[in-house]
Amino acid sequence: MSIMDEWLKLENEAIEKQNEDDIELSSVEGETEKFVISRTLVLSTGINEEIKLKQGDHNSRVLRLDIQKDATTFLKLNNANVFLVIQKPNGLKEKLNGTIVDALNGVVEFAFSREVLSTAGIAKCEVVRVGEDETILSSPSFNITIEESIFNDFMLGFGEDEFTVIMKGEL
């Protein structure tokens, strides 16, 4: 094996290890297991790491963000509401309410619904913090890749697709 091959192998192993570290399988009592993807959001620069989710997943993917004002100061979330606004690949917008996990250290989680992950492609996102004095602070935009799934809810007998609903005249 050449030095270049060894270097590429080590680099790929490091990337795989980082991906394993970024996604943790957690279990909350009384809930099914969820994949938690942890990222740091710096208000001046955004999120520098890729976020990938899977089309059609429902209530199983959670984005945990550590929100920082700058490289050393966390954004306090006391008495605030935090939202993730998503423009889906089809252009429709969704708003997810955040669950504040640690208000002093700027930690918030967003659980992705079936509706948010219904369309494969690149979703444009912003985090919005609304303070108790109604100040609004938005993050730089960042992208989430929603990977196309070959599995769908119809295989489990859930729901109907939008085309079927439109054809039935229910929309």
Q: Are 109 and 83 in contact (CB under 8 A)?
A: no
pLDDT tens figures, 78-94 = 999 999 999 999 999 99
Where do the DSSP E strands lie in 17-60?
23-26, 34-42, 52-54
Residues 145-159 pLDDT 10s: 999 988 765 555 555
Q: pTM value? A: 0.71
Helices assigned H by DSSP within the chain: 3-22, 162-168
- Which residue is listed with tokens 């303070």? 131
| Confidence grade of residue 30 (pLDDT, cut at 50, 70, 90) | very low
**3-168 is a CATH 2.60.40.3350 domain:** yes
* Res. 19: pLDDT tops 50: no
Q: 63: which 2 tokens?
A: 């984005």
Tens of pLDDT, residue by residue over 53-109, are 989 887 789 999 999 998 889 999 999 999 999 999 999 999 999 999 999 999 999
Sketch the domain layout of the chain as residue ranges.
3-168
Does residue 46 come out as left (phi exceeding 0), alpha (psi in the -120 to 50 range) or beta?
Answer: left
Burial 23-43 (b: 16+ CB within 10 A, else e): eeeeeeeeeeebbbbbbbbbb
- Quote the CA–CA distance of 34 and 62 in Å, as a whole number: 7
Q: Please, where are the H alpha helices in 115-161?
A: none
pLDDT attached to residue 154: 55
Buried b / exposed e across 45-68, counting CB within 10 Å, b at 16+?
Answer: ebbeeebebbbbbeebbbbbbbbb
